[in-house]
Amino acid sequence: MAHLIKAQPFDFQIDLSRTALIIIDMQRDFIEPGGFGESLGNDVSKLAKAIQPCRDLLEAARNTGLLVIHTKEAHAADLSDCPPAKRLRGDASLRIGDPGPMGRILIDGEPGSEIITELAPLPDEVVLVKPGKGAFYNTSLKDILDNKNITQLIFAGVTTEVCVQSTMREANDRGYECLLAEEATQSYFEEFKASTLDMIRAQGAIVGWTAHVTDIVSSLQGEV
């Protein structure tokens, strides 16, 4: 069934039977104090603003029966999927694989790599571990979407300008129509989020559309 969502740069026509919600990297290491994000000198409270909008969007998606996919940026314990150029970049106090307050930083299976409790996946929801910023790189994401005949994607998560935008651009190149939920995505840098939203919807939705969470939820609930 097709619905219209009030969006920028123009309304987004959504087919619920062919749509999935992808929540990007809402992990303890990025959002909670003491994790990798804070070790880079970031104010993690800024990302916490996305939690409740993500919860609202997730609840609506579950009630509508959408395919829900959660991603985690995490690496193998032996760091075989983490190139030195990624691990050694910058001047962080903690690096990927180092012991931290929530276990080894960004290592799959460690407490810090897990999705925050407020957005805990249900048993039947996909949890996709990705070694890169984009969720299509070295993962089975495209196969999962193709097997479900998915052609449209609603995005939420963090950070807007890095993993969220990277995945949206990957999806756009693969022919998916992409909609970003504005309040359900955040950055450590407010100006980066604003610029990313502008870039995504520029030139007639060159990468995708953006919409307010309330408008997306209303459409999923059939209220518009």
- Give the contacts of 182 (CB within 8 A, at least 6 positions apart): 197, 210, 211, 212, 213
Q: Is the separation of the CB atoms in 24 and 184 below 8 Å?
A: no
Q: Is 130 a catalytic residue?
A: yes
Query: Of 25, 29, 56, 215, which is the active-site residue?
Result: 25
Specify the pLDDT at position 89. 83
CA distances from 63 to 80, 129, 145, 156 (A): 39, 25, 20, 17
Q: Is 178 a catalytic residue?
A: no
Backbone angles phi, psi at 158, to 5 degrees: -135, 160
Q: Is the separation of the CB atoms in 59 and 65 below 8 Å?
A: no
Cis peptide leading into residue 111 (ω within 30°): no
CA distances from 34 to 4, 28, 39 (A): 41, 9, 7
The full set of domains in the chain, from first to last, is: 15-220 (3.40.50.850)
Specify the pLDDT at position 113. 97
Specify the pLDDT at position 81. 97
Specify the pLDDT at position 3. 82
Specify the pLDDT at position 1. 55
Q: Is 133 a catalytic residue?
A: no
- Give the contacts of 189 (CB within 8 A, at least 6 positions apart): 161
First CA to last CA distance, the chain: 13
164: three-class secondary structure by DSSP: helix
Query: Of 29, 56, 72, 163, which is the active-site residue?
Result: 163
- Report the predicted TM-score, pTM, of the whole model to 2 decimal places: 0.96
- pLDDT lower than 70: segments of the chain: 1, 223-224
26-36 CB burial, b ≥16 within 10 A, e <16: bbbbbbbeebb
Q: How far apart are CA 194 and CA 15, in angstroms?
A: 27
Query: Of 72, 130, 133, 193, which is the active-site residue?
Result: 130
Q: Is the separation of the CB atoms in 102 and 34 below 8 Å?
A: yes
Specify the pLDDT at position 58. 98
